[in-house]
């Protein structure tokens, strides 16, 4: 991994809280008072003495042992050239996706499954449409495609309404394929997971679509042809 000067640009800000106990409970109490809306998933010691890893939603931060300082950035094992933060982020992403559940995704399954990926998609995104136009190629490689919606124009946009209509269709897979071909959809509304998908995309800091997330929580931003995706997934399995 290439270590750049960006690593030195960690965001550091004081919380000015009166807790001095070096334990997880004190840090949780301190952060809870300063950031009451924050969703604290876990707090545990990091690889650095006196620094604690704090998982907020699907993001990772680091806190001083007294809970007074919070740092945002990458923790790097310089000797081994390993991004320890990215390793942990993979696990938090996978846990968040498991919590959403495949029942709340649109899934295209091959006859013989070898790999699974999650794809954040925007119905009107050009490269999202290109990826879906090649869905048979992904399935032929044994890749299960599990779609989540991320209409980049936001809630209430035409793309958002299309995503809801697809979800509410009788045959969601067929409706998604039709929408990707820019065919007219019957506008429908119903209980749907689109807002949850968008919230998760924001937690994952999705900047564009498509964004592919592997079974191990690793991210491949943008379109990847089926053959290249298989190579990436094979490499991922080898490195586990």
pLDDT score of 223 more than 70: yes
Burial class of residue 175 in the structure, from the number of CB atoms within 10 Å of its CB (0-12 exposed, 13-18 middle, 19+ buried):
buried
Domains of the chain as residue ranges with CATH: 5-87 (3.10.450.70), 97-239 (3.40.30.10)
Selecting among 74, 93, 129, 152, the annotated active-site residue is 152
Any catalytic annotation for residue 122? yes
Helix (H, G, I), strand (E, B) or coil at 107: strand
Of 66, 122, 124, 161, catalytic = 122
Q: Count of CB atoms within 10 A of residue 25's CB?
A: 11
Residue 126: pLDDT band (50, 70, 90) is: very high
Catalytic residue among 74, 128, 129, 161: 128
- Per the annotation, the verdict on 129 as an active-site residue is no
Calculate the average pLDDT of the chain: 87
Any idea what the Cα angle at residue 156 is, between residues 153 and 158, rounded to 5°?
65
- Percent of the chain at pLDDT > 90 equals 58
What one-character DSSP code corresponds to residue 230? Answer: H
Please determine, for residue 21, whether its predicted confidence score (pLDDT) is greater than 50: no
- At residue 11, does pLDDT exceed 70? no
pTM of the model: 0.77
Indicate which residue of 124, 125, 129, 161 is catalytic: 125
For residue 207, what are its two tokens? 């900047």
Q: How far apart are CA 137 and CA 199, in angstroms?
A: 30
pLDDT value for 238: 56
Residues 6 or more apart whose CB falls under 8 angstroms from that of 61 comprise 53, 54, 70, 71, 72
Condensed to tens digits (0 to 9), the pLDDT of residues 34-61 reads 788 877 888 888 888 889 999 887 788 8
């Amino acid at each position: 991994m290439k270590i750049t000067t960006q690593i030195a640009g960690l965001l550091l800000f004081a919380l000015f809280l009166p807790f001095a106990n070096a334990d997880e409970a004190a840090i949780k109490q301190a952060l809870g008072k300063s950031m009451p809306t924050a969703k604290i998933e876990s707090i545990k010691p990091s690889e650095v003495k006196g620094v604690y890893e704090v998982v907020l939603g699907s993001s990772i931060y680091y806190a001083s042992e007294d809970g007074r300082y919070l740092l945002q950035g990458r923790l790097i094992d310089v000797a081994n050239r390993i991004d320890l933060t990215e390793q942990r982020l993979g696990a938090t992403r996978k846990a968040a996706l498991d919590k959403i559940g495949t029942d709340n995704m649109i899934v295209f399954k091959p006859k013989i499954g070898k790999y699974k990926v999650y794809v954040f998609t925007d119905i009107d995104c050009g490269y999202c449409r290109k990826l879906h136009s090649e869905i048979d190629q992904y399935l032929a490689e044994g890749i299960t495609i599990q779609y989540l919606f991320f209409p980049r124009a936001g809630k209430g946009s035409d793309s958002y309404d299309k995503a809801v209509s697809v979800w509410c269709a009788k045959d969601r897979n067929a409706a998604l394929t039709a929408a990707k071909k820019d065919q007219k959809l019957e506008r429908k509304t119903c209980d749907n997971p689109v807002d949850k998908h968008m919230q998760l995309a924001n937690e994952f800091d999705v900047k564009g679509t498509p964004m592919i997330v592997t079974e191990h929580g690793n991210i491949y931003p943008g379109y990847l042809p089926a053959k290249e995706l298989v190579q990436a997934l094979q490499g991922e399995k080898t490195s586990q």
